[in-house]
Amino acid sequence: MKTCLLIVDDHGEIRRLVRLTFDPDRHEIHEAVDGAEALALARRVRPRVVLLDVMMPGPLNGLEVCRGLKAEPLLSGLHVVLLSARGQRSDIDAGLAAGADGYFVKPFSPVALLDHVERLVQAEGAR
């Protein structure tokens, strides 16, 4: 069974980089360009993992989207991994406080991101 992923970033090249990190034979990949689209799409496709940019245009930033996803009863058990150019300790702490299951500072290692997502999914399966 494929793992459903949602990639949320306003930059197409970042979405492409992240998409190319994951094997399409093992992952069902969806994409959104902003927070509102991410929330709507997540409710529809119910991903297991959301890879979410922190700084996006529009009324919802990634931290707000993360809190919204984690509060949604339909999405219980969802994992959110934040991707951000902001790498100060306070930024990372804010992301984790919002409920994120991981925080990667851009530029990040695609292999490290893949490994982290696989560990999240495997740990879920072990429960």
Residue 74 DSSP code: G
Query: Measuring CA to CA, which residue among 48, 39, 34 is closest to residue 5?
Result: 48
Number of domains the chain contains: 1
Q: Compute the distance between CA of residue 38 and CA of residue 59 in angstroms, rounded to an integer.
A: 12
Owning domain of residue 74 = 3-126
- pLDDT tens, residue by residue, 8-46: 999 999 999 999 999 999 999 999 999 999 999 999 999
Q: How confident is the model at residue 1 (pLDDT cuts 50, 70, 90)?
A: confident
Q: What is the pLDDT of residue 72?
A: 94
Q: What is the pTM of this model?
A: 0.95
CATH of the domain at 118: 3.40.50.2300
Q: Compute the distance between CA of residue 9 and CA of residue 83 in angstroms, rounded to an integer.
A: 9
HSE-CB for 54 with a 13 A CA cutoff: 22
Query: Measuring CA to CA, which residue among 89, 93, 77 is closest to residue 125?
Result: 77
Average pLDDT over residues 43-65: 96
pLDDT of 124 > 80? The answer is: no
Over pLDDT 90: what percentage of the chain?
94
Residue with tokens 């989207």: 65
